[in-house]
């Protein structure tokens, strides 16, 4: 990949920033390099030919395509402002660090495929695909080969290199691109208003805006609003370990800046799945120490058709935090349910069925399980029954939109 200096905005994406913040940073970095090269005696036309842009490509296909298309339009606007006739920018894409997962990493292959497709359709000149085991450590030859093959297969089977700007003229993509251009230009102007990128980084307001965005993103992941397959959605609690050449050392978080260098608050890269991986790591440690994972007993009430939707939801919910789900028998008989709970070895129990069955059978089963020593959960919103269910011993309710991470943190503490 050509380019002597790189306007590299990947760190903004990795720190949780928006597409507009990433683009605004890239534009400000590109302009800062133009100024520095011009101050060193190069003319602007020669200076811009030395520049390459680097952006992250993630699994949000539509936003990804719009982001790469927007970069070219925005940089052309900067060139015109500098008195230059716009020329094609050199753009390098890399699949995003923040979307990678350490748990069930095979899903990273799917995320990377979408990211590569988006970057190619958006007009990236070169694409680097991170190996699917990157979050685990140094990738082996197999992981590196799959990374190379991802874009080769897309090129040879989907002919991504044949059509120039395939999204051009598509109303949805054009609207996304135009809207992103407006927001990114505002971010760029805010950076320039503070005296350019170096000054803006020293002041720290840009970092604060990125941190605010990252915080909202983290809340959405914690509540399961933003789905991460293999992490907070459809976890594989029994996955086999994958080999890497050397494990990732989480203790190496930063390096010392060179003596005399300007220092600013750090844009800290963080993968979205890390909070759930920390819970799974606690479960792994318990498994290694005791020979079994923390467990929750699913008390399935009513018919298979009645309890299956919430039982499957509860299984995925708990196992995202490393709490293994054990299915109970198909019955509403309290004695049989309590016997199965005791045999399961679980400390937690979760009632799973429809709202109608809860009205008819949840109270006596909850009282029986509570009497048997279970810490009780119920799958679904309690509605008008909440007070009666709590009196019967139900401590917590799990449902789509609840604080999934906090609930799982408590469940791990109660189950171990």
CATH of the domain at 73: 3.20.20.240
Q: Are residues 311 and 200 in the same domain?
A: no
Looking at the structure, tell me whether residues 230 and 358 fall in a common domain: no
Structural domain contains residue 265: no
Instruction: Check residue 90 and give its pLDDT.
Output: 95
CB-CB contact of 210 with 23 (8 Å): no
Tell me, yes or no, whether 83 lies in a domain. Answer: yes
Q: β-strand 246-247 against 137-138: which pairing, if any?
A: antiparallel
My answer on whether 239 and 323 are in the same domain is: no
The reply to whether 128 and 193 lie within a common domain is: yes
Of 101, 77, 98, nearest to 19 by C-alpha is 98
Give the span between the Cα atoms of 255 and 317, in whole angstroms. Answer: 37
Q: Enumerate residues 6+ apart whose C-beta is below 8 A from 38.
A: 44, 47
Chain segment 28-37, per-residue pLDDT in tens: 999 999 999 9
Q: Is residue 190 part of a domain?
A: yes
User: Terminus-to-terminus CA distance in the chain, angstroms?
Assistant: 52
Quick one: 214 and 319 in the same domain? no
Band (323; pLDDT cuts 50, 70, 90): very high
In a domain, 273, yes or no: no
- Tokens, residue 364: 């006596």
- Confidence class for position 247, pLDDT limits 50, 70, 90: confident
Element (H, E) at 130: none
399 in Cβ contact with 380 (< 8 Å): yes
Q: Do 388 and 306 have their domain in common?
A: yes
Residue 308 has a CB neighbour count (10 Å cut-off) of 14
**Where a domain ends, among 227, 247, 267?**
247
Q: Which two tokens stand for residue 187?
A: 């971010």
Sign of the CA dihedral running 85, 126, 160, 24:
negative
Q: Name 255's Cβ contacts closer than 8 Å, sequence gap at least 6.
A: none
Same-domain status, 242 and 299: no
* Residue 100 resides in a domain: yes
What's the pLDDT tens digit per position in 354-401?
A: 999 999 999 999 999 999 999 999 999 999 999 999 999 999 999 999
Residue at which a domain ends, from 203, 232, 247: 247
Q: In this predicted model, what pLDDT tens digit does every residue of 193-212 receive, in sequence order?
A: 999 999 999 888 999 999 99
According to the model, what pLDDT value does residue 262 have?
A: 64
Tell whether 288 and 367 lie within a shared domain. yes
pLDDT confidence of residue 166: 87
370 belongs to a structural domain:
yes
The answer to whether the CB of 16 falls within 8 A of the CB of 64 is: no
Residue-number span of the structural domain to which 130 is assigned: 5-247
Structure confidence at residue 261 as a pLDDT band (50, 70, 90): low
Tokens of residue 114, six digits: 């979408």
Kindly report the average pLDDT of the chain as a whole number.
Answer: 93
Instruction: Inform me whether the pLDDT recorded for 150 exceeds 80.
Output: yes
Question: Phi and psi for 351 in degrees, rounded to 5?
Answer: -75, 135
| Closest by Cα among 55, 11, 5 to 31 | 5
Instruction: Assess whether 211 and 106 both reside in one domain.
Output: yes
| pLDDT tens digits, 163-183 | 888 888 899 999 999 999 999
Domain count, the chain: 2
Q: Quick one: tokens of 214?
A: 């990252």
Cβ proximity of 98 and 70 under 8 Å: no
pTM of the model: 0.91
Q: What is the pLDDT of residue 184?
A: 98
Quickly count: other Cβ atoms within 10 Å of residue 1's Cβ. 12
Is residue 1 predicted with pLDDT exceeding 60?
A: no
Q: Are 104 and 239 in contact (CB under 8 A)?
A: yes
Tell me: pLDDT of 281 over 60.
yes
**3-state SS class at 74:** helix
Last-in-domain residue among 226, 247, 268: 247
Together in a domain, 238 and 130: yes
| 63, burial (CB in 10 Å: exposed 0-12, middle 13-18, buried 19+) | middle
* Confidence label for 159 from pLDDT (cuts 50, 70 and 90): confident
CA distance 183 to 374: 52
């Amino acid at each position: 990949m050509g380019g002597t200096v790189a306007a590299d905005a990947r760190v903004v994406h990795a720190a949780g920033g928006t597409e507009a913040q990433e683009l605004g940073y890239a534009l400000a970095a590109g302009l800062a390099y133009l100024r520095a090269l011009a101050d060193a005696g190069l003319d602007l036309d020669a200076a811009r030919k030395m520049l390459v842009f680097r952006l992250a490509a993630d699994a949000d296909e539509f936003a990804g395509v719009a982001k790469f298309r927007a970069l070219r339009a925005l940089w052309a606007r900067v060139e015109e402002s500098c008195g230059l006739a716009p020329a094609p920018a050199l753009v390098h894409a890399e699949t995003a660090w923040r979307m990678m997962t350490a748990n069930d990493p095979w899903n990273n292959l799917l995320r990377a495929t979408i990211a590569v497709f988006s970057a190619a359709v958006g007009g990236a000149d070169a694409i680097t695909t991170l190996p699917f085991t990157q979050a685990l450590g140094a990738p082996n030859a197999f992981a590196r080969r799959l990374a190379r093959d991802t874009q080769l297969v897309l090129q040879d089977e989907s002919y991504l290199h044949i059509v120039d700007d395939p999204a051009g003229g598509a109303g949805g993509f054009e609207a996304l691109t135009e809207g992103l251009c407006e927001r990114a230009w505002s971010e760029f102007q805010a950076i320039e208003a503070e005296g350019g990128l170096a000054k803006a980084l020293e002041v720290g307001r840009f970092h604060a805006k990125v941190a605010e965005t990252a915080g909202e993103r983290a809340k959405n992941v914690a509540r399961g609003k933003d789905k991460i397959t293999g992490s907070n959605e459809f976890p594989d609690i029994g996955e086999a370990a994958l080999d890497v050449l050397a494990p990732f050392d989480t203790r190496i978080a930063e390096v010392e800046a060179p003596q005399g260098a300007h220092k600013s608050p750090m844009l800290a890269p963080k993968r979205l799945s890390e909070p759930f991986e920390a819970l799974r790591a606690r479960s792994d440690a318990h498994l290694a120490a005791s020979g079994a994972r923390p467990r929750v007993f699913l008390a399935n009430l009513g018919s298979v058709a009645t309890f299956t939707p919430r039982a499957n939801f509860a299984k995925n919910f708990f196992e995202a935090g490393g709490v293994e789900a054990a299915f109970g028998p198909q019955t509403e008989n309290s004695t049989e349910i309590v016997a199965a709970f005791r045999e399961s070895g679980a400390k937690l129990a979760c009632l799973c069925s429809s709202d109608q069955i809860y009205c008819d059978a949840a109270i006596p089963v909850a009282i029986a399980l509570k009497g048997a020593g279970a810490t009780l959960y119920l799958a679904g919103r309690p509605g008008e029954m909440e007070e009666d269910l709590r009196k019967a011993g139900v401590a917590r309710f799990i449902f789509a939109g609840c604080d999934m991470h906090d609930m799982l943190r408590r469940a791990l503490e109660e189950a171990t």
